[in-house]
């Protein structure tokens, strides 16, 4: 009899894949940050290790103004290459209330 993969099983597998992909992503981002004089800040479910099957990767990009765009594009591409959905913002643009809200989860990647 043909085995049927249930939606719950598919979602569970995809969530696990995303969590593993984030581990690999963080290593790549850290290497970039170390060599380019900046840092990334991971927050939300990706930082907590609680990603679901449809979770995106919440990242703040903290680099000097002249290299910010390049760092953004690197992080964006690194996410897409791992079939992850990036949600990026420059750290310097954040409202204080927003930073306070995400502070408990914040994982510095450098």
User: How many CA within 13 A on the CB side of residue 36?
Assistant: 24
- Closest distance between other proteins and the C-beta of residue 77, in Å? 8
Helix (H, G, I), strand (E, B) or coil at 55: coil
- Closest distance between other proteins and the C-beta of residue 4, in Å? 28
**Binding piece for other proteins, criterion CB under 8 A, among 6-14, 15-23, 44-52, 74-82:** 74-82
Residue 84 · residue 17 · CB < 8 Å:
no
Binder among 13, 48, 73, 108 for other proteins (CB under 8 A): 73
Within 47-66, the residues that bind other proteins by CB under 8 A are 65
37 binds other proteins (CB under 8 A): no
- Closest distance between other proteins and the C-beta of residue 99, in Å? 9
69 binds other proteins (CB under 8 A): yes
Distance CA 22, CA 91 (A): 20
- What is the DSSP secondary-structure string of 56-89? -EEEEEE--HHHHHHHHHHHHHHHHHTT--EEEE
Number of other CB atoms surrounding residue 42 within 10 Å:
21
Q: Rule CB under 8 A: which residues touch other proteins?
A: 65, 68-69, 72-73, 76-77, 80, 85, 87-90, 92-95, 98
């Amino acid at each position: 009899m043909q085995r049927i993969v249930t939606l719950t099983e598919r979602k569970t597998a995809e969530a696990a894949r995303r969590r593993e992909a984030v581990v690999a992503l963080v290593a790549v981002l850290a290497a970039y940050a170390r060599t380019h004089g900046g840092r990334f800040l991971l927050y939300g479910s990706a930082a907590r290790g609680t990603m679901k099957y449809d979770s995106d990767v919440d990242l703040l990009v903290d680099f000097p103004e002249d290299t910010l765009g390049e760092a953004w594009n690197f992080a964006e591409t690194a996410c897409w290459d791992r079939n992850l959905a990036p949600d990026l913002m420059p750290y310097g643009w954040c409202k204080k209330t927003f930073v306070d809200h995400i502070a408990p989860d914040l994982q510095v990647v450098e």
